[in-house]
A = this chain, B = another copy of it.
Amino acid sequence: ARAQSSVTIYGTVDAGVQRTTHVANDATQITRRDNNKLGFRGVEDLGSGLKALFQLEIRYDPDTGALENNTRPLFQGQSRVGLQGNFGTLRLGRGLTAFQESVMAFEPWSGLPNVAGYQTNLQVAGYTSDPLSPAGNSANRFSNAVFYNTPVWNGFQVNATVATKEANGGPAVIGKGTTTAPQYAANANASNNPYSVSATYTNGPFAAMLAAERNAVEAKIWSVAASFKPIPDLKLMASFQRQDQSHTQFINTDTDAWVLGANWTVGVGKVLLGYGQKKPDGVLKTKQASVGYEYSLSPRTYLYLDLSHKRTPFVVTARSDVTQKHYALGVHHNF
């Protein structure tokens, strides 16, 4: 009861009509463009500049009302508790890694996990932050982790996430092993502590980022990115990333990807533009061009329209590619 005033309920409901060609289910669907959230968070002032923080975030599919993928943790979005003070912010639990959280500011769809956006498929190049958690789990979070963010010094901040090696009930990863003797057995411990670090810098209209991460099966990814606002209503952005899967793959171990983008505010509307390529070593390139439009009905609610055109191998090892088209029309509401 004493705590009632300290809990904030927040969330997002985003639903629309979408269609993507050349996918397993290419029918017109009611589905989401953004993550749908229902969260609970609070801040307690402990005095002397010290604060206690917690955040618990449910994620769900609005079209069926189910948890994302039916299988994800209740608080898939995050579950963290920690302290904030002059030393920065220190939290324990589950959440976005430093790498994944930092790259979003340099992606024209702000990291929204949809086909028109670039984060899932191109910007992180199919990399997963969490390969040893149950199948269907999210690909950009660490469970069992410590999260640290430094204070911001003259526009400069460093963020670090380190996870324990503890097993989390994941499936076997065959890797360089065999079906009967996989490189990582089911419910395996990590072979090394997963970590994720990023450094960000902001100076007026200019921002830049450098980030690197290693997951529980020792795949590595690094990224460099920058953005610039020539006028306040226009943000231009670019990122480059390289993934190294040589710990679990004999061939096609490296993947390079780059993304260019722009966000242009015009009255109550915002135009999103992006172009990017992904080049896995020895596999066909993926090339994607997307355009989006967000029409604000209020600071909390907008309508959106996305169109995307992607040239991509139909199966990742295939020698031929297809043209995948995507459209989305819907409503996005924050509460």
Using CB atoms and an 8 Å cutoff, list the residues of chain A in contact with chain B.
Answer: 1-4, 6-11, 13-17, 25, 27-31, 36, 38, 40, 42, 44, 46-47, 50, 52, 54, 56, 58, 60-67, 70, 73-83, 92-94, 133, 143-146, 163-169, 189, 297-301, 330-331, 333-335
Contacts and interface: CB of A to CB of B under 8 A. Distances in A.
A13 B79 contact: yes
Contacts of A143: 30, 63-65
A335 B144 contact: no
B65 A333 contact: no
6 contacts: A3-B335, A52-B298, A52-B301, A54-B333, A64-B133, A64-B168
Contacts of A92: 15-17, 30, 62-63, 330-331
Given A73-B64, A298-B46, A335 B10 contact: no
Contact of A50 (B52, B58, B297): B297
B40 A94 contact: no
> Nearest 3 A-B pairs (CB), nearest first?
A65-B75, A66-B73, A13-B81
Contacts of A9: 3-4, 7, 9, 40
Nearest to A31: B144
Tell me the number of copies of this protein: 3
Given A40-B38, A92-B15, A144 B64 contact: yes
Contact of A65 (B47, B70, B78, B146): B78
B300 A44 contact: yes
Given A17-B92, A62-B92, 9 more contacts: A2-B300, A4-B10, A15-B92, A15-B93, A30-B145, A52-B298, A54-B333, A64-B133, A65-B76
